[in-house]
Chain A
Amino acid sequence: MNRRAWIRPLLFIAVLLILWEIAARRQTAHLLPGPWETAGGIADLVRHGLLLKYVVASLFRVTWGFLLAAVLAVPLGLTIGWYRRAEMAFNPIIQILRPISPLAWIPIAILWFGVGDVAAIFLIFLGSFLPLLLTAINAARSVPAVYVNAGRNFGLGPARLVYRVLYPAVVPQLIIGLRITLGIAWLVVVAAEMIAVNSGLGFLIIDARNAGNRYDLVVAGMVIIGVIGLLLDTGMRSLEKVKSFRWSYSED
């Protein structure tokens, strides 16, 4: 995208900000902050050294929960997807667990881990595990039979087959799944922090309201959450681009 393509979206955002500011000023009860006040809230956080602290705390939990889930879910999912019978075996369990919000596990998480970082990481792990598992299962299942047959035709043993056929075929899908799941993990960490811990961006939002109705900090927190979530997503997308030069995507 060239430079000029950014002007219109930016203008649109500017218009939205102006509308927001107007709406905020016209409130009778002064509750919701406008963009200017929100920016002030962000500045406040920076001044107290809290912004960095909270962002790091949230990122820390996301990273651990997400990586743990990835390390377990991807190999497991690939294996399950590869063997039809394994997929048949585990599918019902997966389907029942999938619609359960990770937050519903909070009482159990607190029971096992107490209130704190580990509980939050556990929740993020739960929220990331199933989507990654499903992505890996689907990726393994969608390896075209022609690739596998060609590999066997050339005499590749199981180990080589995995390395030379399965792995390159599934990586593009896995990367997309990782990106989407990272987005999910980011949603979960914020929610988990509102309940189970004492630091982080989610905590900021709940605490700012409870301890003094500092809605400027609340909205500041939301904005920061949005921006960081976007950065994470953009970062993962650039990873997709790098890899996609090596393996072909099927484009329509």
Chain B
Amino acid sequence: MNSLAEPRKWEKFFWPLLATGLLLALWHYSVIWTATRVFPSPRDVEKGLAELLRHHVLWADIRDSLRRVAFGFGAAALLGIPVGLTLGWYPVANQVVNPSLQIVRPISPIAWIPVAIIFFGVGDGASIFLIFLGAFFPIVVACVDGVSNVPSVFRRTGRNFGLTAPQLLARVVFPAALPQILVGLRIALGIAWLVVVAAEMIAVDSGLGYLVIDSRNSGKRYDLVVAAILLIGVIGLVLDFGIRRLERLKPVRWGFRSES
């Protein structure tokens, strides 16, 4: 069976390139064969991307999207981590509060747009609020899980050495839960990136999401649409890589087994 033979080094580049190349070729020829007049070919997208990069508006859009993510995600972390730690530390509190969270969680942040607009008006504030909503719950859940998964050995040792409850939380429970909290932060950041794009398509007029909608609305520039979509993917990936680097720091690396 293939899965047992150990792949060689060159294969790490060969297979992805092959697959991506085939996909691009498939895309390219589909455009030709269906003689579509609107859908862009890979070439068109490449040119569109160059055009976007040349016009400095793109950088402003990227900056706007990132700024909203920074604020929304930052607020979610600032509020969510203490809340999550508290709920994890006092299981009774968690039992009381959790059902309320479970009802609010399935409501898409996008569904909050009308309410958000009432509170914040149209613009940055509303989108930051939506991002906050999207990122808040995964962070809280990760903190609760992280705290409750701290092996009892660690807590016992802390008590044994005479730590008070606040000291225990700060010096044992929090560091022990940190790997799991980081995973939650990473997931929340991914969600924040999804929400900001969606929010920008509806409620604001700048940013990458807006770029997607606008490219279509003002001129049916589907080459720009696809270019913007790919850009969204790439930047989201960069954000993900960035936060994964944090997971490799020594004080948390122990919490992550083998890298996939």
Contact of A104 among B102, B114, B232, B260 (CB under 8 A): B232
Asked whether any CB of chain B lies closer than 8 Å to the CB of A211, the reply is no
Residues of chain B lying within 8 A (CB to CB) of residue A32: 115, 118
Once the chains are docked, how many angstroms separate the CA of A95 from the CA of B104?
Answer: 29
Residues of chain A lying within 8 A (CB to CB) of residue B193: 99, 101
Q: Separation in Å of the B183 CB from the closest CB of chain A?
A: 14
Residues of chain B lying within 8 A (CB to CB) of residue A206: 113-114
Whether A218 lies near B114 (C-beta < 8 A) is: yes
Given known contacts A96-B234, A99-B233, A141 and B212 CB-to-CB distance under 8 angstroms: no
Q: Which residue of A lies closest to B213 (CB)?
A: A107
Once the chains are docked, how many angstroms separate the CA of A41 from the CA of B100?
Answer: 21
Q: Separation in Å of the B168 CB from the closest CB of chain A?
A: 21
Asked whether any CB of chain A lies closer than 8 Å to the CB of B198, the reply is yes
Q: Which residue of B lies closest to A127 (CB)?
A: B194
Whether B111 lies near A202 (C-beta < 8 A) is: yes
Once the chains are docked, how many angstroms separate the CA of A138 from the CA of B190?
Answer: 18
Once the chains are docked, how many angstroms separate the CA of A13 from the CA of B234?
Answer: 41
Whether A191 lies near B99 (C-beta < 8 A) is: no
Asked whether any CB of chain A lies closer than 8 Å to the CB of B7, the reply is yes
Residues of chain B lying within 8 A (CB to CB) of residue A141: 260
Contact of B113 among A138, A194, A215 (CB under 8 A): A194
Query: 1/0 contact trace for B50-64 toward A, CB 8 Å?
Result: 000000000000000
Asked whether any CB of chain A lies closer than 8 Å to the CB of B245, the reply is no
Whether A95 lies near B197 (C-beta < 8 A) is: no
Whether A9 lies near B16 (C-beta < 8 A) is: no
Whether A12 lies near B97 (C-beta < 8 A) is: yes
Asked whether any CB of chain A lies closer than 8 Å to the CB of B106, the reply is yes
Given known contacts A99-B193, A111-B38, A9 and B98 CB-to-CB distance under 8 angstroms: yes
Asked whether any CB of chain B lies closer than 8 Å to the CB of A88, the reply is yes
Number of interface residues of A (CB under 8 A): 65
Residues of chain A lying within 8 A (CB to CB) of residue B2: 83-85
Q: Which residue of A lies closest to B209 (CB)?
A: A104
Pick from B74-82, B155-163, B172-180, B236-244 the stretch touching chain A.
B236-244
Contact of B16 among A5, A88, A228, A233 (CB under 8 A): A88
Asked whether any CB of chain A lies closer than 8 Å to the CB of B96, the reply is yes
Query: 1/0 contact trace for A210-252 toward B, CB 8 Å?
Result: 0000010011011001111110110000000000000000001
Pick from B18-26, B121-129, B247-255 the stretch touching chain A.
B18-26
Contact of B104 among A10, A93, A98, A226 (CB under 8 A): A226
Asked whether any CB of chain A lies closer than 8 Å to the CB of B66, the reply is no
Asked whether any CB of chain A lies closer than 8 Å to the CB of B33, the reply is no
Q: Separation in Å of the B202 CB from the closest CB of chain A?
A: 7
Whether B201 lies near A103 (C-beta < 8 A) is: yes
Residues of chain A lying within 8 A (CB to CB) of residue B118: 31-32, 215
Residues A30-80 near B (CB distance < 8 A): 31-32
Whether A84 lies near B95 (C-beta < 8 A) is: no
Asked whether any CB of chain A lies closer than 8 Å to the CB of B256, the reply is no
Once the chains are docked, how many angstroms separate the CA of A11 from the CA of B97?
Answer: 10
Q: Separation in Å of the B15 CB from the closest CB of chain A?
A: 4
Asked whether any CB of chain B lies closer than 8 Å to the CB of A115, the reply is no
Q: Which residue of B lies closest to A215 (CB)?
A: B114
Whether A190 lies near B3 (C-beta < 8 A) is: no
Residues of chain B lying within 8 A (CB to CB) of residue A104: 197-198, 201, 209, 212, 228-229, 232
Q: Which residue of B lies closest to A17 (CB)?
A: B100
Asked whether any CB of chain A lies closer than 8 Å to the CB of B108, the reply is yes
Whether B232 lies near A205 (C-beta < 8 A) is: no
Asked whether any CB of chain B lies closer than 8 Å to the CB of A170, the reply is no
Asked whether any CB of chain B lies closer than 8 Å to the CB of A108, the reply is yes
Residues of chain A lying within 8 A (CB to CB) of residue B240: 95, 99
Residues of chain B lying within 8 A (CB to CB) of residue A10: 99
Asked whether any CB of chain B lies closer than 8 Å to the CB of A125, the reply is no
Once the chains are docked, how many angstroms separate the CA of A16 from the CA of B100?
Answer: 9
Q: Sort A-B residue pairs by CB-CB distance and give the 4 closest, nearest first.
A: A229-B106, A99-B236, A89-B15, A89-B19
Sample (21) of A-B pairs whose CB atoms are under 8 Å apart: A9-B98, A12-B100, A84-B3, A86-B15, A88-B11, A89-B19, A96-B233, A96-B234, A99-B190, A99-B194, A100-B232, A104-B198, A104-B209, A108-B39, A108-B225, A187-B109, A191-B111, A194-B110, A202-B110, A215-B115, A225-B106
Instruction: Knowing that A105-B229, A194-B113, A201-B111 touch, tell me 9 more A-B residue pairs with CB under 8 angstroms.
Output: A12-B99, A32-B118, A93-B23, A99-B232, A101-B193, A101-B194, A104-B212, A107-B222, A218-B115
